[in-house]
Amino acid sequence: MLRVLSIGDAGDDFVASELRRQGYELRVEQVCTREAFSQALDRQAWDVILSEFSVPGLTVQQAAQLLRARHLDAPLIVVSNAVGEEKAVEAMRAGAHDFVTRNSLVRLGPAIEREIDEAANRRERRRAELFIVDLNRDLQRRIAELQTLVNLVPVGIAITDTPDCRFIRANPAFERMLEVAPSSNISLSAPVEERPPFRILISGQEVPPDLLPMQRAARGENVTGQEVEFIREDGTSLRFLASAVTLLDENGRPRGAVGAFADITEMKQAEHMLRNSEKLASVGRLAATIAHEINNPLEAVTNVLYLLERTAGMPPYAAELVAIAQKEMQRISMIVKQTLGFHRESVAPVRISIADLFDEVISLYQRKLDSAGIHVHRSYRSRGEIEGYPGELRQVFSNLIINAADAIARGGHIHLRVQDVTRRFWPERRRGPRLGGNSSLNGVRVVIADTGPGIPAENRRRLFEPFFTTKGEKGTGLGLWVSQGIIMKHGGRMQMRSSTRPGRSGTVFSIFLPLAASQSGSTPKPVAAGE
């Protein structure tokens, strides 16, 4: 059943009977005004609209517009009394799909058929277009989501679009880690002038760029969990666990690669430190055992020398030799005692005045400092009573003062400050050890500042590592590492600032220690012995 909407007399009985003759079953409704046409369109669907060339209340153009406005596809065919090429052109311009004259109504059936088909095609095309638009919007949204993710994740992500990896892009996190400019090329396979300012090592060896994870993946290999080390221009290094996968084109051929680089630098450092501290602990135990074994014969020899010294009638040169032997023995005793002390577990903590401790340490080194022309300035705005282990803290302050003196070499200043602070004002450091507990807990800040040359940036990171020293044979590189441990054991923390600016260079070590219980008004973190 063909549903025909007739504008004016276009679908009159004559036309209808011709269509029926052509084999159509149809139902015709007639409208003559704009309003009637609109209502008819809104009421039901129509298969075809037949229109006169001109009806006073509704032109072909208006009819076409109303159809378009409703996104209706029903074909609009003008059935006209008038003949002529211009009339047809005019009707088509006005928006009709076809033009049939009353003397050639045989054409009407096929025209309707064709236009209905066309309309179906148009509908289909529009549906496809809408689908694509939807798909596109969805795609854009997903790309935006992915982009946000890539920008956000704290993992290094690298992408290359070419199998030869001449250009590799990095996400912002990776750019920050590698300290390269945004959107720069991070590929070592790039032309020389575009190459990034770092080297990459695998198992400690520099390898040809072709063997790096991204390059391998871009050729079709999958790389999982490979350790790589990036050495930046300033000599600092970063370690990553790299995984990379191939990107394929529509024919399944490699067209690039994507890689993820997880920063494992700190993990590796921690591993390294742990190994060192284990080594150190066993060395300490060994030294303590040996020192203990030596102690007994040592005492016997000391006694023998004492008796010899008192023997009457000894020739003067022999007495001199005994005196030398006694002096050397004293040195040996001292070394043994220190070695024993190094390993000895601390007993219960005692109350200590930081200012007193400082004075003690300074008096110990006064001669050395004086002869080097180094001035020590003391400013104690607190006696800062804390609870802790005096021997260990003395070790911390000695090392800091000697480090400062070593750095200054000749004619400089060391400032020592002791003052009360609340923990709230203690600056947090990203990598520093964290203080747990009450943030309003009061404490003492101890500052050791020097006017030395400062510590170069590349050394700062390694300062607290065991065995890091710039003093060759003269230093063990354990001073700061041990100090850090002692301060942490006291529930405190240590911070360093340094500048190498000529004329304004120097280094400041600040130590925060919680006050003893009765002074601080809150309970300090208990200090565990032998921790």
By the criterion CB under 6 A, which residues form the site for ligand ATP? 399, 403-404, 407, 450, 452, 455, 463, 468-471, 475-481, 507
Would you say 244 or 455 has its CB closer to ligand ATP? 455
Q: How far is the CB of 430 from ligand ATP (least distance, A)?
A: 20
Would you say 200 or 404 has its CB closer to ligand ATP? 404
- 327 Cβ contact list (under 8 Å, min separation 6): none
Closest CA to 110 of 180, 190, 22, 225: 22
Asked if 389 and 433 touch (Cβ cutoff 8 Å), the reply is: no
CA 178 to chain centre: 11
Q: Which tokens in the block code for residue 355?
A: 């200012």
Q: Which of 59, 403, 442, 451 binds Mg ion (CB under 5 A)?
A: 403
**Count residues contacting Mg ion (CB under 5 A)?**
3
Q: Which amino acid is at 99?
A: F
Q: How far is the CB of 290 from ligand ATP (least distance, A)?
A: 20
Q: How far is the CB of 462 from Mg ion (least distance, A)?
A: 14
Q: How far is the CB of 280 from Mg ion (least distance, A)?
A: 16
Q: How far is the CB of 479 from Mg ion (least distance, A)?
A: 3
Q: Angle at CA 156, nearest 5°, toward 151 and 159?
A: 80
Q: How far is the CB of 527 from ligand ATP (least distance, A)?
A: 23
| Options 26-34, 272-280, 402-410, 447-455: segment touching Mg ion (CB under 5 A) | 402-410
Q: Which tokens in the block code for residue 205?
A: 């060896």
Q: How far is the CB of 282 from ligand ATP (least distance, A)?
A: 19
Would you say 452 or 524 has its CB closer to ligand ATP? 452
- Name the binder of 90 from ligand ATP, Mg ion, none, CB < 5-8 A by kind: none
Q: Which of 246, 399, 451, 484 binds Mg ion (CB under 5 A)?
A: 399
Closest CA to 49 of 86, 21, 79: 79
> 359: exposed, middle or buried (C-beta count within 10 Å: 0-12, 13-18, 19+)?
middle
Q: Which helix (H) or strand (E) is 475 found in, with range?
A: none
Would you say 310 or 474 has its CB closer to Mg ion? 474
- 120 Cβ contact list (under 8 Å, min separation 6): 73
- Name the binder of 485 from Mg ion, ligand ATP, none, CB < 5-8 A by kind: none
- The strand pairing partners of 219, in sequence order, are none
Q: How far is the CB of 341 from Mg ion (least distance, A)?
A: 18
- The strand pairing partners of 376, in sequence order, are 414
Q: How far is the CB of 463 from Mg ion (least distance, A)?
A: 10
Would you say 403 or 442 has its CB closer to ligand ATP? 403
Residue nearest to Mg ion (CB): 479
Task: Please give the backbone phi and psi of residue 378, each rounded to the nearest 5 degrees, phi first.
Answer: -110, 135
Q: Does 388 bind Mg ion (CB under 5 A)?
A: no
Buried b (16+ CB within 10 A) or exposed e, 407-421: bbeeebebbbbbeeb
Q: How far is the CB of 476 from ligand ATP (least distance, A)?
A: 3
Interface map 464-493 toward Mg ion (x if CB under 5 A):
---------------x--------------
Q: How far apart are the first and last CA of the chain?
A: 96
Would you say 51 or 484 has its CB closer to ligand ATP? 484
Task: Please give the backbone phi and psi of residue 505, each rounded to the nearest 5 degrees, phi first.
Answer: -75, 160
Distances (CA, A) of 112 to 25, 144, 348: 13, 47, 106
Q: How far is the CB of 435 from Mg ion (least distance, A)?
A: 24
Q: Provide the pairing of β-strand 205-206 with 198-202.
A: antiparallel
| Options 182-190, 328-336, 394-402, 514-522: segment touching Mg ion (CB under 5 A) | 394-402
- Name the binder of 470 from ligand ATP, Mg ion, none, CB < 5-8 A by kind: ligand ATP
- Name the binder of 285 from Mg ion, ligand ATP, none, CB < 5-8 A by kind: none
Would you say 433 or 477 has its CB closer to ligand ATP? 477
> 269: exposed, middle or buried (C-beta count within 10 Å: 0-12, 13-18, 19+)?
middle
Residue 521 DSSP SS3:
coil
Would you say 84 or 456 has its CB closer to ligand ATP? 456
Residue nearest to ligand ATP (CB): 479
Closest CA to 419 of 450, 393, 443, 440: 443
- Name the binder of 507 from ligand ATP, Mg ion, none, CB < 5-8 A by kind: ligand ATP
Would you say 403 or 498 has its CB closer to Mg ion? 403
**Cα–Cα distance measured from residue 214 to residue 174, given in angstroms and rounded to the nearest whole number:** 14
Residue numbers at the binding site for Mg ion (CB under 5 A): 399, 403, 479
